[in-house]
Structure 1
Amino acid sequence: MIVAFSVAPTQTPNAEAEMADAVTEAVRVVRASGLPNETNAMFTLIEGEWDEVMAVIKRATDAVAAVSPRVSLVIKADIRPGHSGQITQKVESVESRLAQNGQEDK
């Protein structure tokens, strides 16, 4: 499965700095998991089996909860048993089609 999730504190005394620090700790948890992952401006993607992915999301959420009594968590999942490597394959499929149609970025 691939899960896109976003976790952030909703209450911090110094909002911008502490929010960035808390999100950094959440991303650190994801990267330390060893599961395929990527982070962009809005979400962190992680790929693996249900139990391992959800355990990482819980640990990342706990890292944010360490600095905020209230936490926002958004999760979107693509559950496709028997498939792996989809975190990159989906993007490669689109990029390949764009290149075939002459639509690649220049």
Structure 2
Amino acid sequence: MLVAFSVAPSGGSGEGDSVHAAVAAAVQVVRNSGLPNSTDSMFTTIEGEWDEVFDVIRRATEAVGAYGTRVSLVLKADIRPGHSGEITGKVERLERAIADANLD
């Protein structure tokens, strides 16, 4: 399965403070997990089996919790049993389709 998630603290001490330190803590948990992952400006995507992926997301959420009194968590999952390597495979197939269609 692939799960894209975004996690951020709220209720911290400074109104308008950047959340980069909290997000960095969450991403570090993901990277330390050893599971395939990718982070962009909006989401971190992680690939693995249900229990291992959601364990990592739980721990990342707990890491962010240290930066505020509340945590916001957004998830989107692609559950496709029997498939792996989709974290890069889906993008590779998209790029081939674009090239094959000669779209500019």
Normalised by the shorter chain, which TM-score bucket?
A: over 0.9
Which stretches in structure 2 are left out of the alignment for 5+ residues? none
What CA distance in whole angstroms lies between the structure 2 residues aligned with 1:100 and 1:38? 26
- CA-to-partner distance for each residue in 1:74-103, whole Å, 9 max, x for gaps? 011111111000111111001001111222
Q: How does 1:1-106 map to 2 (within 5 A)?
A: 1-14=1-14, 15-17=16-18, 19-103=19-103
Distance 1:78 1:98 in 2: 22
Letter in 1 for 2:52: E
Which letter does structure 1 place at the counterpart of 2:57? I
Structure 2 length-normalised TM: 0.94
Query: Distance between the aligned counterparts of 2:17 and 2:94, measured in 1?
Result: 35
**AA partner of residue 78 (structure 1):** D
Question: Percent same amino acid among aligned pairs?
Answer: 60
- TM-score, L = length of structure 1: 0.92
Superposed CA RMSD in Å reads: 1.1
Work out the CA distance in 2 between the residues paired with 1:48 and 1:83: 10
Alpha-carbon contact 2:13-2:68 (below 8 Å) kept: no
Please report how far the alpha carbon of residue 20 of structure 1 lies from its aligned counterpart in structure 2 after TM superposition. 0.8
Distance in 1 (CA, whole Å) between partners of 2:11 and 2:34 is 30
> Could you tell me which amino acid in structure 2 is paired with residue 72 of structure 1?
S
Query: Within 2, Cα distance between the matches of 1:66 and 1:52?
Result: 22
| Corresponding residue SS for 1:16 | coil
Aligned-partner Cα distance in 2 for 1:13–1:103: 48
Structure 1 stretches of 5 or more lacking a match? Answer: none
Deviation at 1:13, TM superposition (A): 1.9
